[in-house]
Structures are given as C-alpha cells and as structure tokens.
Chain A
Amino acid sequence: MNPIKPRARSERLVTRTVGDELLVYDLDRHKAYCLNPVAAQVFRHSDGQSTITEIVARIRRAVGMPIDDQAIRLGLMRLDAAHLLVDGSVDRTHRTSRREVLRTLGKTAAVVVPVVTALTVPTPAQAASFFVCAGCPTTACLGQPCSPGGICKQSGSGRLFCDSPP
C-alpha cells in the first residue's frame, strides 16, 4: 500500500504570515483561518511528496521540539476539515482525537498541538477605527466609516455609506 502523502491546497488560497502563525483565506468558501505555528508547519510541509513520517521529521527539525506523529495527524485532520488540503490526500478512516493526542503528549501539548482557528471576517467598520463624520447632525453614524469632508448617508437597506461631497 502506498504511504499517504498529504498535499496542501495551493490554488484559490491567499496566505499571510503573522509572526510564526499563518492566516489563510479560502476564496472558494470565503472562510478565513488562523493556523498556529505547528499547524502552519504541517500546512507548509504538506507538499504531496512527503509521507507523514517525513513531515514529522522535518517539523521536528524546524521547531526544535519533539513532536509526536499523532500531533501531526491531528493537524492534518484539522487542515482537512477546514478544506485546506487537496481532497483525498489524507486518510479519513484513521481519525485521531484531540484528547488522545493530549494524553500522549502530556505537558508539552499546549505548545505542540496544531490549532486551526476559523476567523470571522469583519465589516470595514470593525476592521479599523473611523472618524465621526463632520456633517451628520445626529450620532447615528458614530463609529461608521466616513471620509473627511464626507457625511454618512443611509441606504435603502439601512447600511451607512460615506457620501462624499458633490
């Protein structure tokens, strides 16, 4: 039987490293994830050429810590659940539970357990602070995006827009 060689998706994903974590946006599903350092390593080393054993060895070298292959399997499962791996590149029959991994790893678990966190995509108003617009007579638009010199205007659907001067 051929050993499993996991492959991370490379198409329709936009990634961005922040420190040792990795942000991934899936353009097909419009979902965003934050991969902790171990999950990010699993994602990066899932090249479709390496077996799980080889991936484990590489990640151990990269993070300089003894990482159990159960942890890597858990990471692959989580990446697969988030649709970040190419379909069919992991064995879905062999499931590893988080509890099982934690039991095996003991005290080091907090550091080496791969975590894939789903992110909420914010609205523009949540993604930054905005100035209160100059022209609004009320505080209805407080905190809404508005350009200097513009005024907030409510659309038919109730959404506030910054109306720039005519």
Chain B
Amino acid sequence: MPMRSPDEWAAAHSALRLWLATGELPPAPPDEFAMLITEVARQHGVAGLLHDAIVDQERDWSRAACAILRQTLQDVFTLGVRQLDTASRVQDILSAAGVRCVPLKGAALAESYYDSIAHRPMEDVDLLVLDDWHRAVRLVKAAGLREEYKADHAIAFLDPALGVAVELHRGVTSCSALFPLDLEATWRRCRIAAGQVRMVPSGEDLLVHLSLHATFQHGLGLRLVQWLDFRRLLERNRPDPAVIGQIAADPLTRRAVALALEAARAVVAAPVEPELRKLIAAWVPVRLGRFILRTQDDAAIVLAPGQPPLAWIRWQLAAGRRWMLVRETLRPRVASAPAFRTGATARALRLARRWARPTLRSLRATPWN
C-alpha cells in the first residue's frame, strides 16, 4: 500500500466512525480511498461488518477492496469458530471439575451481540475463573494447553493443536483489588446462550467488565470494534441501570463505567438511555469529565493507534485509593505464581524497565489541567 498522509488516514477513520454511528456508508469511494478504508477496517476489527454492509446496501466499492474484506471475513469466521470452540472446551473441563468460569469480552459478545462470529474478531479468548484459581490452572495444563506467559491478573495458555490462545483471568483487570466485584452475583446473573459458548454473563455484567477493561487496562484507547461492543450491548440488551448501579457499587468502578460509556457515545454514538445517562452523570469526577468533553470534540483521542494518557487515567480513576493503586502495581495482592512473589523494589525495577517507554509516550497525551 502506498504511503498515506495523516489526513488521509484521519479521513478513513472518520468515514468508518460515521458509518458505525449512523449506518451510512460512502456510496462509491475512489478505489484508493476504498483500499485505505479497508485497511483501517481490518486494523479496527470491523472488516467483516463492512463487507456485509457493502453487500446489504448494494454499494459500488472497488472489487479489490471487496475481495480483501471478504477474505478477512472468511478468516475471522474460521478462526473465531475455532477460538470459541476452545473457550467452550475449557469451560467444559473446568465445569466438570466444579470450577466455574465466565467468558469475558469478545468470547462473551461474538455470538450474542453480533450477527456473525465473522463480525467480532478476537486475538484470544478470555475466561474469568470464579472459583479455585490454582485448580483451574492445573486443570487447563492437564488438558494439554501450554502456559505462555503470566500477568498479575491472568495467565495466557496456548492450545498447541489448534493454535488458539486462551487467557485465564483471576481478575477483570490488573490491580483487580481496586475494583471489587461480587462474582457470586455475576454467576447468578449468567444466562445460557445458544451458541458455542454456553454460559455468558448478563449484559449488565458485561458492560461493567468492558468498561473496566477499556478504562483501566487501555486508558480508553480502543479499536472501533471494541467501542462497537458498547453500542451493541446497549442496543441489543437495554441494560437495567439499577442492576448496573448494583454491580458498580464501588466508586472507582462507577467512574470507569461512566467514563467508558461517555467515550462510547462520542466514538460510535452508543445509545445510552436517559435514565442511565442521568445515573452515570453523577459518577464522573470533574477532571475526567473535562477529558471526556475533549473526546466529544475529537474522538480520535480514544481511538487506537493513538496513545492514550493511560497513567493519568489510572491515577484519576484511583482518586481516594491511590495508595492502593501504587501497592497493587508494585506488589499485587493476587500473585498468580511464585514467580510473582518478588519484592516490591525488584518488581518496580522490572516494571520501570518494561513500561518506561510507553508511559513516557502516554504522558504526551496527558491533559494536565
């Protein structure tokens, strides 16, 4: 693909965002621009959806662009079926041993909130373990999955036969003690789904999980398909604000939910109903509120590949409990393996070595006032 100017990339992002927000596709963009939109759609995980929109709306897009979109749709479908099959298999293995787990993010959304698995690409499948964590890890290893790497809140496994990555989570985000969730209640609210993954969290739980992941894990820098998740949840499920209020009982969780929903409104016009808007309006602290106002003028701030002000957002989210953020970052309470039981100084050095560069980059995007 030829080199493109930043303006051209911005125009392609903008065209895609407009389409996701309004449903309106450019009727017949020039071939080169169609190819650029196609590339951006692939980066943002909406290529399959774009392919089907072009076909449904009978738009006259370039053949080359349509062929790439079609191939991507086919790839996402075949990989997605395989990924969800692996998720379902791991769920079965754990469930047979009495260990409960629920899918997170794409694995929970792909079949229930999208018309096709081909519309919701995933890098891996995430499962949140609700019971004995160490037993769950042992069971997954015994089933032949190979441990690939560990974080404080999750371990990534690889199914060597199928090449599918499964992340077993013990928390929705890292530093999960900052965001206490009643997992028993999450389990009670789960529903049986008709697809490959049979047990999925309620829409309200999913909304809170997505919000925590978006704000704390990624500082609101998401792909379009991840923002679309919010829109789909709100459109197809109409979550009950009272239940969201119960799940997000903690003020930090409430901030994350409010922030993510306001950003989703700005990026993909996620339909937050008046009752829910009224509720979340009271949850956003002033500084984060000012940041959200900026996203309404320029949604690219919270769109990959922009560098989100991650450290600043975490700091603001943790207001009132910042000592816990520091402690959880340096010495996570939920150590996943003995390797993590290193001293705070050693961990601080390790984190500094690994994360200094991205943190410095994200400081450029930090709204200091």
A interface, CB within 8 angstroms of B: 14, 16, 18-19, 23, 25, 27, 30, 32, 34, 119, 121-124, 126-132, 134-135, 137, 145, 147-151, 153, 155-157, 159, 161-166
Contact = CB atoms under 8 A, between A and B. Distances in A.
B123 interface: yes
22 contacts: A18-B74, A19-B55, A25-B82, A30-B161, A32-B77, A32-B78, A119-B74, A124-B123, A124-B124, A128-B72, A129-B42, A131-B43, A131-B304, A137-B357, A147-B123, A148-B222, A149-B310, A151-B358, A156-B148, A161-B149, A165-B174, A166-B152
Interface in B51-93: 55, 70, 72-79, 81-82, 85
Contacts of A23: 74, 77-78
A148 B306 contact: yes
Nearest to B42: A129
B361 to A, nearest CB: 6
Interface string B112-142: 0000111001111000000000000000000
A162 B123 contact: yes
Contacts of B78: 23, 25, 32, 119, 121-122
B355 A121 contact: no
Among A126, A153, A164, A165, the most chain B Cβ lie within 10 Å of the Cβ of: A165
A165 B313 CA distance: 13
B165 A128 contact: no
Nearest to A131: B305
A149 B151 contact: no
A164 B123 CA distance: 13
Contacts of B196: 14
Contact of B72 (A34, A127, A164): A127
Contact of B357 (A135, A145, A156): A135
A131 B223 CA distance: 10
A72 B76 CA distance: 30
B318 interface: no
A16 B43 contact: no
Among A18, A23, A148, the most chain B Cβ lie within 10 Å of the Cβ of: A148
B149 A155 contact: yes
Contacts of B117: 14, 16
Contacts of B149: 153, 155-156, 161, 163
Contacts of A162: 123
B308 interface: yes
Contact of B351 (A30, A123, A127, A166): A166
B77 A148 contact: no
B358 A134 contact: yes
B163 A123 contact: yes
Given A16-B116, A164-B217, A165-B174, A128 B148 contact: no
Nearest to B85: A27
Contact of B43 (A19, A130, A135, A149): A130
Given A121-B163, A124-B79, A135-B354, 18 more contacts: A14-B196, A16-B117, A25-B82, A30-B82, A124-B123, A128-B47, A128-B76, A131-B304, A147-B217, A148-B219, A155-B148, A155-B158, A157-B146, A165-B174, A165-B358, A166-B151, A166-B175, A166-B332
Contacts of B122: 124
A130 B42 CA distance: 8
Interface of B: 39, 42-43, 45, 47, 55, 70, 72-79, 81-82, 85, 116-118, 121-124, 146, 148-149, 151-152, 156, 158, 161-163, 165, 174-175, 196, 217-219, 221-223, 304-308, 310, 329, 332, 351, 354-355, 357-358, 361-362
B218 A157 contact: no
Among B74, B81, B223, B358, the most chain A Cβ lie within 10 Å of the Cβ of: B81
B271 to A, nearest CB: 24
Given A135-B358, A163-B151, A164-B174, A127 B217 contact: no
A159 B218 contact: no
B48 to A, nearest CB: 9
Contacts of A137: 357
Nearest to B89: A27
Contacts of B358: 134-135, 149, 151, 165
A134 B81 contact: no
B305 A148 contact: yes
Contacts of A151: 354-355, 358
Counting from the closest, the 4 A-B pairs by CB-CB distance are A148-B221, A135-B358, A155-B148, A127-B75
B76 A159 contact: no
A124 B261 CA distance: 28
